[in-house]
Amino acid sequence: MAQVKRIRRNVSGIILLDKPLGFTSNAALQKVRWLLNAEKAGHTGSLDPLATGVLPLCFGEATKFSQYLLDSDKGYETLMQLGKTTTTADAEGEVLQTRPVTVGRADIEAVLPAFRGDISQIPPMYSALKRDGQPLYKLARAGEVVEREPRSVTIARLELLACEGDTARLAVDCTKGTYIRTLVEDIGEKLGCGAYVAQLRRTQAGPFTLAQTVTLEELEAVHAEGGNEAVDRFLMPSDSGLLDWPLLQFSEHSSFYWLHGQPVRAPDAPKFGMVRVQDHEGRFIGIGEVSEDGRIAPRRLIRSE
């Protein structure tokens, strides 16, 4: 008997998932996509299986704006295990070296200023960065180590929350592309005892915080009671990650031409930069950029919300 192809729904919006421990970001995405029966889906930056916390999942038209969440600042809390280093710089790797821990709160506080502000990081071998089309983590698993270019990142906040025995808990606010595993490993070397990430929780992604998230268990419970449509109640508008952008509302005339790819003028437009755009009925219809002549050029469009 031929298998009946599942007809997926055209739903749009963002679900803020509290990613569970042990899931890859893609596995979590596919699970929620199944619960929604959504046609199109994407996530906004990977979290390691070891990590939990804020993972914005984009569906339908919202996937057009996922890049702006990828580029946004992030916040984390991490538990740093002192005295050991591992192959992956986290608890999932094999222990490479064990050293005595003779440092305390004052010692940790003393080294943290060196890691605040603009710093340089060498990405870990166990990362999704690619070399000649191959992810570095695949090369690492094969025992290969290749040279990686340092990258500049900014640590806006680095605070010691707690210190007990051979562990320390840190809060980190940082720019995109920051590797918390590398940060912890580098702090451990500065302390002279080594360290790895024992726990990692993302507390913020762009404008989104843990307080706004929903768990996979909550989504499954709602789905069990009401099916795919019941899960829709957790969908936030497609422009939820862009609420700090200037908002323009076009007339019916301007909306028509703008949605057909034509730049238009708006009397209340800023002099430069990116803007969110609504039509005359208040529906989000895309994002635009103010050009030199003052017109709003369409950059990403949606037909309806």
Catalytic annotation, residues: 48
Looking at the chain, list the stretches that DSSP marks H as alpha helix, in order from N- to C-terminal side.
25-36, 66-70, 105-111, 136-141, 180-191, 216-226, 228-231, 252-259
Tally of residues, the chain: 305
d(CA 291, CA 242): 19
Widest Cα–Cα separation across the chain: 71
Copy the structure tokens of residue 264. Answer: 């238009």
The one-character DSSP state at 214 is B
Sign of CA dihedral 183, 66, 136, 96: positive
Q: Are 72 and 176 in contact (CB under 8 A)?
A: yes
Nearest to 160 by CA among 118, 106, 199: 106
Q: Give CA separation, 297 vs 86, 258, 264, 275, in Å.
A: 50, 8, 7, 10
